[in-house]
């Protein structure tokens, strides 16, 4: 399938710049640090990198509050640094995706500064403004994901403005055609530079209900968090009116029209809605996004039933689009802690990578997954995340998955910085440093590399259809079929050995080797899987 677009079946490595590598000693990672480690990333066998926001920002939400869409924040470097990064990545065969945060800006963006000054200036309607109720209270009951009302009073205008996230992140008014045009022009700026794709943050939040209708309450038994805790008041509502509005589909079509003017680029949308799988299917239909991903595998549920049910539910609805899967990112507890529940091991770490990379779709892996990093315990006095500070101690925020990458076990701050890091480097991460793992042929890192390079030679795993096989816990089994090739994939998600009877209709499986994982044994009747064992086989 050499004519497939690069992103289809690709593995993209997410880089959180603040925590990747600091080259100037200010304790925060930067673009030159990414450049310095691009050869390392390429050695992992991944296809692309996704770089979290590095744009000019007051950093209230660490870059997801953008003050200038077209410039690099001095904390991270310069536009010239980005150009060098892009050129080097392309030279060594890596595609580059960048974050685009389109639904909201920082209060420091010049658009908002102008908009808030009066009700009749040229940008007066570029943000979501509304009058107070007669009693002075907020226009409706919409809540912010970060706690409290989604409305903030602005005395200059004598009105409230909408913020679905932090108070310092006002929402743009996408009903205004000039706003949509300006946003698309900002995306065009980076496409013209030569980026290979954009990851669209909170893409279903662009439009709001024009009538500002109240969100209905959600029964307690249905308060399930996806990217937020069930005890967050945000979970107490159905968010029918402050996000995932039907008008968003028209904007996605406009965005796709823009992207179709460029050769072989991709749009990946982050989607968190009342029914994220249905929204993923809807948003990736023809003429919209190339890919979508949700928080459905970023949950605490590590069961074969949950994984199988999630993928099957999406497959039933996604008749046109292409999924992208992730089991870790910069917003959730690291997967080895979340799913390992204190039983982290090299075998489990590599099993998790193989499992997500064997599902139908593309994959995003988060920096540190290849090292088997666990969630860091960050003391309250060291917290940086406003989300964690607001909800402590029930929710400790996102700092635990954002601590610096450990590059070396014999340097200060694990080789991340020669200054004081913005977050502490956990002592337990030093033992998992890159230099130590590269010297160990049985390390998580070398297991990750082995599997990724092996996967590149398996067309069925990259592009094939998927069909699940009925199994009992803790076994997850399915086939991937492509171009006459059928690959049988079986995972034991537990640390105890299990025996599995395969359906006779599969015929005689022939074991596939070279992936580096704990391999099961098939005796002609039953498949015997060790704890965290796998079985890859070709089926005729």
Give 149-203 as a 3 state SS string: ECEEEECCCCEEEECCCCCCCCEECCCCHHHHHHHHHHHHHHHHHCCCEEEECCH
Decide if 170 contacts 67 (C-beta within 8 A).
no
Token pair belonging to 529: 């899987």
Return the bridge partners of 176, or none: none
Is residue 533 within 8 Å of residue 512, measured between CB atoms? no
111 within 8 A of 94, measured Cβ to Cβ: no
**Tokens at 384, concatenated:** 């940086």
Task: Using CB atoms within 10 Å of the CB of residue 278, give its burial: 0 to 12 exposed, 13 to 18 middle, 19+ buried.
Answer: middle
Contacts of 306 (CB under 8 A, 6+ apart): 299
* 22 belongs to the catalytic site: no
8 A C-beta contact, residue 406 and residue 433: yes
475: tokens are 């076994």
End-to-end CA distance of the chain: give it in Å, rounded. 20
Q: Take residue 156 and report the two structure tokens written for it.
A: 């200059």
Give bridge partners of residue 237 from the DSSP assignment: 217
Q: In whole angstroms, how large is the CA radius of gyration of the chain?
A: 23
CB 435 within 8 A of CB 27: no
**Of 73, 81, 201, 282, catalytic:** 201
The residue annotated as part of the active site, out of 61, 81, 171, 270, is 270
The structure tokens 């042929």 sit at 441
Query: Does residue 73 have an active-site annotation?
Result: no
Q: List active site positions.
A: 201, 270
């Amino acid at each position: 399938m050499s004519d497939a677009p690069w992103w289809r079946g690709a593995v993209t490595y997410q880089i959180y710049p603040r925590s990747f590598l600091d080259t100037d000693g200010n304790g925060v990672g930067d673009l030159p640090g990414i450049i310095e480690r691009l050869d390392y990333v390429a050695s992992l066998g991944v296809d692309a990198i996704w770089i979290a926001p590095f744009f000019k920002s007051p950093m209230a939400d660490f870059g997801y509050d953008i003050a200038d869409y077209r410039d690099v924040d001095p904390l991270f470097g310069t536009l010239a640094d980005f150009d060098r990064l892009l050129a080097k990545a392309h030279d060594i065969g890596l595609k580059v995706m960048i974050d685009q945060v389109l639904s909201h800006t920082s209060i420091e963006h010049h658009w908002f500064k102008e908009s808030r000054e009066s009700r009749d200036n040229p940008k007066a309607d570029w943000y979501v403004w509304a009058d107070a109720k007669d009693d002075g209270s907020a226009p409706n009951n919409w809540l912010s994901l970060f706690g409290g009302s989604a409305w903030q009073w602005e005395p200059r205008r004598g009105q409230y403005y909408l913020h679905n996230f932090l108070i310092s992140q006002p929402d743009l008014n996408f009903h205004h055609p000039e706003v949509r045009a300006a946003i698309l022009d900002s995306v065009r700026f980076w496409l013209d530079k030569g980026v290979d794709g954009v990851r669209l943050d909170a893409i279903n939040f662009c439009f709001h209900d024009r009538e500002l209708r109240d969100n209905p309450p959600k029964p307690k038994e249905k308060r399930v968090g996806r990217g937020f805790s069930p005890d967050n008041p945000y979970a107490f509502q159905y968010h029918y009116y402050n996000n995932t509005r039907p008008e968003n589909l028209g904007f996605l079509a406009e965005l796709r029209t823009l992207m179709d003017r460029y050769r072989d680029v991709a749009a990946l949308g982050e989607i968190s809605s009342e029914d994220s799988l249905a929204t993923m299917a809807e948003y990736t239909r023809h003429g919209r996004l190339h890919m979508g991903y949700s928080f459905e595998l970023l949950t605490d549920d590590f069961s074969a039933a949950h994984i199988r049910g999630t993928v099957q539910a999406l497959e039933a609805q996604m008749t046109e689009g292409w999924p992208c899967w992730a089991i870790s990112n910069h917003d959730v507890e690291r997967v080895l802690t979340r799913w390992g529940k204190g039983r982290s091991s090299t075998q489990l770490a590599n099993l998790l990578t193989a499992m997500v990379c064997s599902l139908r779709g593309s994959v995003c892996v988060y920096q540190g997954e290849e090292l088997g990093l666990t969630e860091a315990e960050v003391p309250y006095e060291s917290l940086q995340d406003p989300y964690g500070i607001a909800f402590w101690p029930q929710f400790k925020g996102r700092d635990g998955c954002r601590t610096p990458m450990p590059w070396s076990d014999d340097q200060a701050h694990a080789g991340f910085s020669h200054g004081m890091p913005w977050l502490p480097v956990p002592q337990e991460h030093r033992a998992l440093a890159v230099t130590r793992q590269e010297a160990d042929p049985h390390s998580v890192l070398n297991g990750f590399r082995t599997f990724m390079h092996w996967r590149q030679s398996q067309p069925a795993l990259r592009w094939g259809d998927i069909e699940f096989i009925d199994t009992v816990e803790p076994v997850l089994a399915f086939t991937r079929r492509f171009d006459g090739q059928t690959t049988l994939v079986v995972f034991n998600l537990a640390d105890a050995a299990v025996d599995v009877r395969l359906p006779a209709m599969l015929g005689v499986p022939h074991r596939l080797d070279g992936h580096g994982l704990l391999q099961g044994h098939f005796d002609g009747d039953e498949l015997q899987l060790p704890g965290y064992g796998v079985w890859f086989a070709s089926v005729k």
